[in-house]
Amino acid sequence: MKKVFEDYFSELQADMVSICMEYVENRAEMIYIYCSCEEGVISSDFFYRINGTIKERDKLNDLHSINTYNTSVERQDGVLEIINEDIIKIKELCKQYGREMPTEMKLIYDVKRNSLAANYKYDLIYSSDPEKTADNVANEWFEEIKRKNTN
């Protein structure tokens, strides 16, 4: 059977999940991936739920008395680079198939259920704001998920 747009799109999202899963050494309950492609800016971020706690990628070792995760800057940058490359590939894919490129993708991967939920936006999120950046939006999403997780 011939691959269609959705197949390629799903493969690229699965690649993002896979690299984030590798980063956390397959020890997460949930993976959250933020992707932004707006006004020529490509940006991404990722964080996790581990043992019921929402944790930023650089703070995974706060969960343990010993450092069990490799959260080096080089490793984090490597994951972000792969996610950003996948965003660029999605942008090229959308162009090739005449589809609109999302300005924002929020991916939530449930490890136990092996299911991916995605929320896409197509309007400008931060470009029209004189102070807001993609990092601000990613941080807001992290705080929102953290609040929901503690309630």
pLDDT higher than threshold 90 for residue 47: yes
pLDDT band per the 50, 70, 90 thresholds, residue 62: confident
Q: Strand ranges (DSSP E) for the chain?
A: 30-38, 41-50, 53-56, 104-110, 115-121
pLDDT band per the 50, 70, 90 thresholds, residue 67: low
Alpha carbon 92 to its chain centroid, in Å, reads 18
pLDDT one-digit tens code per residue, 142-151: 999 999 988 6
> 107: domain range?
5-150
pLDDT band per the 50, 70, 90 thresholds, residue 21: very high
pLDDT one-digit tens code per residue, 90-149: 999 999 999 999 999 999 999 999 999 999 999 999 998 889 999 999 999 999 999 998
- Claim: this prediction has a pTM higher than 0.85: yes
DSSP state letter for 60: G
CATH number of domain containing 83:
3.30.500.20
- CB-CB contact of 137 with 143 (8 Å): no
- CB-CB contact of 111 with 30 (8 Å): yes
Number of domains making up the chain: 1
